Chains A and B, each alone.
Chain A
Amino acid sequence: MRDRLTTSMRASHVLALIFVVAALCLAAFGAATGDTFYLRLGTEALIFAGLALSVDLLLGYSGALSLGQALYFGIGAYVSALTLMKVPSFWLAMGAAFLVTLAAAIIGGLIANRVRGVYFALITFGLAQVFAKVVYNTRELGASDGMIGVPVIQIGLGPFSVSAASPAGFFLVVLGIIMGLYALTAYLLDTPFGRVLTALKANEKRVPFLGYSVWRARMAAYVFAGLVAGLSGALYPMLRGFVSPELMFFATSGNAVISVILGGVGTLIGAIYGSVLLVILKSIIGSWTEHHLIVIGLLFMACVMFLPKGMVGFVRPRIERLLGREPAAPEPAPPSSATIKSGSAA
């Protein structure tokens, strides 16, 4: 028997597949028509989708609302920018961003995971604001002006090389990385570790009685979410050629939370859909009226009132039902998840 969590994750994967196909069509169409702006806007939406994914990992699984996830996004962006200005190497920048975000997320996790609930939200918010202010006032990091002059790099992928300036090429690279992060997160949540996280959200007090350390699971989720945000952030300066302290401000963290709620909390793919929708809406409505914040706010309220589980939360049960009909046949489920299921279902 397949458990409910696996079925819903499968439904998310179907939506992820639809997303990738749509994105590939867009890339092909954009490349054919020689478009630059929309492909680069799409790339930016994907980068912010990575940040939203990390928020959903915390909010949707361990149940911790982080209001300062832009902290790690910004650290990734700054480290990547600083590295690229010294050595224009894609892999070096990603590696450096990975290591520094890892260290930062461990420190941040040690501080933030001492508390939970609303205090966790406030601590993460405070950490990000403090760090953003420090960067805002540090001349060596460009202070309030940020840093420009991040070179356009060549990304070496085995025998191929893609320029970050090529709209379609870089779009595909970012699509690959973000969907890779999605797949990794989804895989991790399907392991026993992921089930502990789900248990944490359901009833934190009972988890120790089952023999699991609450602190260790929360910490691991926090550090992993930090890394997802940091690696997404590392892509930003490659796209736009600069970093600024605004990337760490609350507006960035807040947009990520809005994306997750629009898309559907705890669905992972919803974070990606939500983020893309938000970036596109902001771009279109922003050109149309200067009261775009009101429009976005109303949409957000309508979503919370009428689609409390978000867009994906609305669509997914239907897909689950479709998927649920299939496995009446003898179950040839992938072996990797089969072992896990027998463990957690016991």
Chain B
Amino acid sequence: MSVPCLEISNLSATLANGVRVLRSVSLTVEPGVVTALVGESGAGKSMIGKAVLGVLPPSVKIVEGHIALEGIDLGDLKSKARRVLVGERAALIPQDPLTALNPSRRIGPQMTDRLVHILGWAGDKADRRVRQLLDEVQIRDPDRVMQSYPHELSGGMRQRVLIAAAFAAKPRLIVADEPTTALDVTVQKQILRLIAELQKEHGTAILFVTHDLGVVAKISQNVSVLYAGKVVEQADTPSLFASPQHAYTRALMAATPRYTDPLASLKPVDETVLAGLASEIAAADRDWVAP
């Protein structure tokens, strides 16, 4: 058995008022595998990604559970050691490339900074690496792009830049947080293809956060379905689509529009499914004792 790239076990997080926002979440991302986290807004899917990277908002406290990156429990590390380890082995592809980039700095230094300052690479090595990655994300003239400011690039180009930046530091794990949600469909397809190609080539594991079951089907090998901070179903992706086990998963699939079968899609989620979920969550909270 190989050591999982990411192992989250029994993770719970609460807000200041004691309300749980993550409810005993356990999930594993194997090396080189894309695992999707899918759910609707408020399900806590981005929260899990943030917990892994150690960038949770101050209002959210992890109250129990473990996060291990390549077998190293992040909870055992002092905060500086943790930042270094996460900085070396993990990276983020964010949803909105415009807010993720500093508008007043050129692209080039924004991409090399991380390599130089966090990973301690020499400037020319960082520069070569960034150019190589820009080439891999099919940016034809890296000089112009590295000289540009974020607003001078299209949305698709900016997302390519961030993908290149994420892969540049040779991370073992990438957290991709809705990386194609802000893009047009034709650009989304190019970006998904790019992520899939780079992921295979570099053998990187990806925790892919999305609300879109279509994207889950196309990009991931495994999937966890979240509702209200609780994992309601986990499966390998083909099995999830072939035989969804949880009523909520089935309801989500029926609600998702598909042009190939317009009448069978877009079904509102049944009240009984929602009631079932509510009682499941209530039962989980009843049995849970805050540590």
A and B interact: no
